[in-house]
Structure 1
Amino acid sequence: MKKVFVLVVLFVLPLVAYLFFASGVNNFGRLPVLTEQVPNLSDIDENVRVDDKITILGFLGNQIALRKGNAFNLNQKIYKRFSDFKDFQVVMVVPKGYQKEAESLKKELGKLSEVDKWRFAYGSEEEIKSFYKGLKTNLELGEDLSTPYVFIIDKERNLRGRKDDEDEGVKYGFNTTSVAELNNKMEDDVKIILAEYRLALKKNNADRSK
């Protein structure tokens, strides 16, 4: 009996523990899809694509100066940390006619970091409202066509978020007014989706080499 007990401790329990933690990592390693196939942003602005990109999507509206602080928070806490990843980008939707204000904001951001992966998509009021509706979130777009929230869009144009957030339950977006939320929640979720694609890439490369 002692030998059997020793064998169980040495071999069976470690295997059970491994399977348990492996299962946990696998579940943790995917960020839930909340909205499948959001509208194609290139339908609004042909110069901006989200396909095959991991995109942080935001809406600056027609009072860009009022959202400047939100943009700086996002730039410092999220963009600077992940901008080295090849397929990562930030896209801000802006009403047509506000190109000058958007480019001015980009220049200000450029004083703090490189901004080659900050992009702006310009559309009409109706186009922006229609596109935002297609995200199918529980968050409202302001009358000025802005929101402090930004959204994670994956390479297949799926909106990713949380289904069991401790504060909100289903969490579609991240409030750029809150540095704590960017640090404690959004950063973690961006890490997860980037890791997810890295693992998929490694698997594809391994399969090709067989």
Structure 2
Amino acid sequence: MKKTFVLVVLFILPLVAYLFFASGVNNFGRLPTLTENVSELDAMDTEVRLQDKITILGFLGRDASLRKGNAFNLNQKIYKRFYEFNDFQMVMVMPKGTEDIADEIREELSNLTDTSNWNFVFAEDKAIEELFTSLNSDLQLDEGLGTPYVFIIDKDRNLRGRKDDEDEGTKYGFNTNSVAELNNKMEDDVKIILAEYRLALKKNNAQRKKG
């Protein structure tokens, strides 16, 4: 019996583990696309663009001072872990007139980390509503044009999320009020999309070398 147990530990378990992780790569190697062609930021007074960037898109709203905690959660649980990756950015859309609040948030965040990839974009109400509508999600902005939810936008301006989330079914955005959700769901999904682009880059480089 002891010999059998040792053989199982040494040979069978590693094989099972390999098959498990290999199937995981195949099944979860891509983050589902939920909405294509999210609007660009052309209607807003900014040089920031979604195209060719991996973007965490948020809407802090007119009462952004009440969402400093949301920005802090997002910074600590997501931004600090991924901001050094190429083409990764945060874009927080806010109504015009909230520039001072955005400066306060940026200053507070700068005491915690490098905020060079935190972008605050200001726009007229209509432009904010049109951008949010282009996400085609099941979520809504509040009266101040804000929401605690943030969204993952890929380099082709597609909204990425989950189609079989255990709690919500189709999951369009991530609630920054919930540290657990950022830790247990959003972090995993950001890892997947970054790995997806890194894999594509490696394939392209390998093909160029062959060519």
TM-score between the two structures when normalised by the length of structure 1: 0.89
Q: Deviations over 1:162-210 (max 9, x none)?
A: 0000000000000000000000000000000000000000000000000
Which stretches in structure 1 are left out of the alignment for 5+ residues?
1-14
Q: Give 1:45 shift.
A: 3.0
Cα displacement string for residues 122-156 of structure 1 (whole angstroms, at most 9, x for unaligned residues): 11011111111111000011110000000000000
Determine whether 1:131 maps to 2:131: yes
Letter in 1 for 2:38: V
One-letter amino acid matched to 1:179:
V
Is 1:47–1:121's contact at 8 Å kept on the other side of the alignment? Answer: no
Q: Does 1:58 align with 2:58?
A: yes
SS of equivalent to 1:42: coil
Three-state SS of the structure 1 residue aligned to 2:42 is helix
- Distance in 2 (CA, whole Å) between partners of 1:73 and 1:20 is 32
Tell whether 2:182 aligns with 1:182.
Answer: yes
- Amino acid in structure 2 at the alignment position of 1:184: N
CA distance in 2: counterparts of 1:31 and 1:203, whole angstroms: 18
SS in 2 for 1:86: coil
1:106 match: 106
* Aligned residue pairs, count: 196
Secondary structure of 2:104's partner? helix
- SS state at 2:91 partner: strand
**One-letter code of the match for 1:180?**
A
Query: Corresponding residue for 1:97?
Result: 97
Q: Once structures 1 and 2 are overlaid, which stretch shifts more, 146-155 or 44-53?
A: 44-53
Q: Which residue of 1 aligns with 2:151?
A: 151
5+ residue gaps, structure 2, are: 1-14
- % of aligned pairs identical? 68
Q: What letter corresponds to residue 38 of structure 1 in structure 2?
A: V
Q: Deviations over 1:58-108 (max 9, x none)?
A: 001011111100000000000000011011000000101111110111011
Q: How far is 1:18 from its partner? A: 7.6
Q: Which residue of 1 aligns with 2:47?
A: 47
Question: What is the RMSD computed on CA atoms of the aligned residues?
Answer: 1.8
